[in-house]
Amino acid sequence: MDRALIIGIILGIIMIGLGIWLQLQGTGASFLNFWSLSSLFVVMGGMIASIFVSFPLSNVIGLGEAIGAVVLEESDKMGPVVDEACDVAEIARKGPEALDKAVTSIVNPFFKDGVQMVRDGYALEEITDIMETRIRYREKREKIQADMLRSMGTLAPAWGMIGTLMGLVVMLAGFGGEGGADGLGPGMSVALITTFYGAIFANLFFNPMADKLEVKTRKTSITYSMLVEAARLIFQKKHPIIMREKLNSYIPPREWKRGDVEINA
């Protein structure tokens, strides 16, 4: 699980709960005044329905994959990726048979495909073009996922407003009945809860999740661009020391290494 995501959500809920508690002091109201199952149905149901209207079914079905990509924590360390690339470069210098064995041990599937293309005799331009094309279209696919989350962040407050209007209609319809003006305050409170729910879902969940997915996409693209360069250097049979110096340009200085010595900066 992404620890920053969990911390943020828990902190947000605590702050909202604390704010509600402070607002309730001396009013005689309770936390139950902020609970409305019908409002929850309007916001979530309407938002999901709008997503089905806005995006193809295949993308909507893959929404769980997008949320999973946000929730799962990934290592930010790129140093080990450089180490693996340099190890493969060292083995590649021993000949095609050694490279065959190295391909099977590569952990990153994107890099594994690149090295396999080197072993299969693809031209340097072909390897570069294929790998960079995969990066571009991966970014496009993940942008659709981020767009869905962003749309949910936009639609949740909109459906919250629709729920508020529905509540006002019901409240005003009963205004002239038994109870009269006595029911105006509680009725207005219930009507506004839908907007409250919509704002929380948008600003605590969906919009921040879209931002996080975009950040993760950019980080992965940087890693993959580095691996494209690594595959190119392996094709050119560059020495691992030269490869390490070149790949260090892609990663933070604190992760740089010179051989087996790590540099702190």
Q: What is the DSSP string of 77-98?
A: --HHHHHHHHHHHHHHTT-HHH
State the residue for tokens 């073009």.
129
Rounded to an integer, the average pLDDT of 152-167 is: 91
Report how far residue 250's alpha carbon sits from residue 247's, in angstroms, rounded to the nearest whole number.
6
Identify the band that residue 70 occupies on the pLDDT scale cut at 50, 70 and 90. Answer: confident
Query: Checking phi first, is residue 136 left (phi over 0); if not, alpha (psi -120 to 50) or beta?
Result: alpha
User: Mean pLDDT across the chain, nearest whole number?
Assistant: 86
Identify the band that residue 123 occupies on the pLDDT scale cut at 50, 70 and 90. Answer: very high
How much is the pTM?
0.80
pLDDT in tens, 211-261: 999 998 999 999 999 999 999 999 998 898 899 999 998 888 887 776 544
